[in-house]
Amino acid sequence: MAITKSTKRFLCIDDDRTLLLIVKQILTKSFGAQTLEVFQASTGEEGLQIMREIKPDIILCDIHMPGMDGFEVCQRVRELKLRSAVILMSAYDAEQDNAIKASDTGADAYLSKPIKKGELLFVVNFVMRVAHLNDTVFEKNKQLEASLVQLKQFSYQVKIEGHTDNIDIRTKQYPSNWELSAARAAEVARKLVRAGFDPAKLSIEAFAQYRPKVPNDSRQGRATSRRIEIVYQRGSIRKHMVNILRR
């Protein structure tokens, strides 16, 4: 069930030590220590100290605890600008709109107690996949920012090329893949201009599905073909700057 090659850090915060043990056993057995390293805390304050040290990828936290409750823990996570996915849990659904408040506080998911193994694994697996996608987007944004620094130094034209997979789109907004690939390229061009790049040096080109990076005969192949490429032409040399995958 591994999502990525790197180990994810999981922090469980609850004043019920039995639940801490059960959660650790379920996750370790289901995901394996190479995929998910589980840390534990019995108070919100202790959890806050641990998360500052390890910067967990996922936090599972009880709402009702002595001292700092789960809502405050979630708020502190956001204030610290940690990129952790937060799952709040509670046994008091009938008395309070905990799920709604959890969402308003910035939690990514909510679980009702008593924790059921299937629900826990489903939610954890889901937030791991979302975290992996967010990491991919974050890395691509860093690539784009790094490329922008280089692009600003160029005195020649930069081309932004839009590509789609081979699944035809026919909507009012995008009558064909030509319009879709052009719109994606234009979106990146606008971001570059907003970041300070000279628009006079930019051009966009749309290729629809007709220049796939790999064969479009699989889900992975189509995902690879959906992309934006930023290139520049210097004489007969075509230089590829960055490739941005579009999911």
Mean pLDDT of the chain: 83
In this predicted model, which residue has the larger pLDDT, 42 or 230?
42
Which range is most confident: 1-10, 137-146, 166-175? 166-175
| pLDDT tens per residue across span 5-14 | 478 899 999 9
Superfamily of domain 152-245: OmpA-like domain (3.30.1330.60)
The confidence score (pLDDT) of residue 190 equals: 86
Q: Is residue 246 pLDDT above 70, yes or no?
A: no
Q: Is residue 3 pLDDT above 50, yes or no?
A: no
pTM, rounded to two decimals: 0.56
The percent helix, strand, coil of the chain (3-state, each to 5) is 45, 20, 35
The confidence score (pLDDT) of residue 224 equals: 85
| pLDDT tens per residue across span 87-97 | 999 987 655 67
In this predicted model, which residue has the larger pLDDT, 96 or 4?
96
Percentage above 90 pLDDT, the chain: 38
The b/e string for 105-122 (b: 16+ C-beta within 10 A; e otherwise) is bebbbbbebebeeeebee
Identify the H or E element spanning 53: helix 44-54
Architecture category of domain 8-133 in CATH: 3-Layer(aba) Sandwich (3.40)
Q: Is residue 127 pLDDT above 70, yes or no?
A: yes
Phi/psi for 234 (5° steps) reads -130, 100
| pLDDT tens per residue across span 59-68 | 999 999 999 9
Q: Is residue 160 pLDDT above 60, yes or no?
A: yes
Domain boundaries, the chain: 8-133, 152-245
Read off the tokens for 175.
């009558």
